[in-house]
Amino acid sequence: MIAKLKEKDEAIALRKRGFSYSEILQRIPVAKSSLSLWLHSVGLSKHQKQRLTEKKLASMKRGWLKVMEMRQKRIEEIQKKAKGNVSYLISEPLWMMGTALYWAEGTKMKSWRRGEAISFSNMDPFMLLIIKKWLKQYLKVKEQDMRFELYLHETSVHRLSEIKNYWVKFLKIPMENIPIYFKKNKFGTRRKNIGGTYFGLMRIKVRKSAALNHRVTAWIEGLSKKYCGVV
């Protein structure tokens, strides 16, 4: 009992000096529930509260930096392996076409935003069909992980059923899986993509695919090195 009272007094003294619960537990090995009971009524000065806040923020920053360091290490491992595959993949026409098309029209990874998912947009159905096959064969993307989005000018709303059937036929996807987004028609526009030959723009997005996009980034860099002499 005397030992417990001594631990309690010591804990209260440390708390009044602005020590955090974790710092106190390092010095006094008791149950956290006991420590909370002893210290719940111990008030802290403004300076002590500030110290605890600063320590908490510093700890959060260290944790965040550790997470970022681990994420960067995973990215480097993914890209190193992907670059190593370029030497034999480069002889496969579908891989070459898909990677080059994505290089031109796909959503690339940004240095300031490392979580970009795979996303490819175009008006050409054959190009989208190639990308769809490329995603399946080389990135092992399952059909259910692909999301298709259709973007149309509002002047084409009267052809909606025809346009949806057009994309369903080419891409072989269920009609109900195509959300549609309408673009407002600008007054006085002279755009040429109108009439019966206009079928809008289709976007293919892959769920939770940032890691795959890092692989594609490495492939693109591999092609750059092979054909342009740059990395």
**Does residue 92 sit in the same domain as residue 201?**
yes
- How far from 71 is each of 4, 117, 219, CA to CA, in Å? 45, 15, 19
Whether 23 and 120 share a structural domain? no
Tell whether 68 is covered by a domain: no
Do residues 125 and 185 share a domain?
Answer: yes
The verdict on residue 62 lying in a domain is no
**Inside any domain, residue 57:** no
> Residues 80, 34: one domain?
no
Q: Quick one: 92 and 189 in the same domain?
A: yes
Query: 204: which DSSP letter?
Result: E
Q: Check: pTM over 0.95? Answer yes or no.
A: no
Say if 56 falls within a structural domain.
Answer: no
Long-range contacts: 8-15, Cβ < 8 Å, 24+?
A: 8/38, 11/35, 11/38, 11/39, 12/38, 12/39, 12/42, 15/39, 15/42, 15/44
* Tally of domains in the chain: 2
Asked if residue 128 and residue 15 are part of one domain, the reply reads no
Range of the domain at 91: 73-228
Please indicate, yes or no, whether residues 101 and 190 belong to a single structural domain of this protein. Answer: yes
**Tokens 């947009």, located at residue:** 121
Residue 124 confidence (pLDDT): 95
* pLDDT averaged per 10 residues in sequence order, the chain, 231 residues: 70 74 78 75 65 74 73 82 88 95 91 83 96 96 94 90 92 86 70 76 95 93 80 50
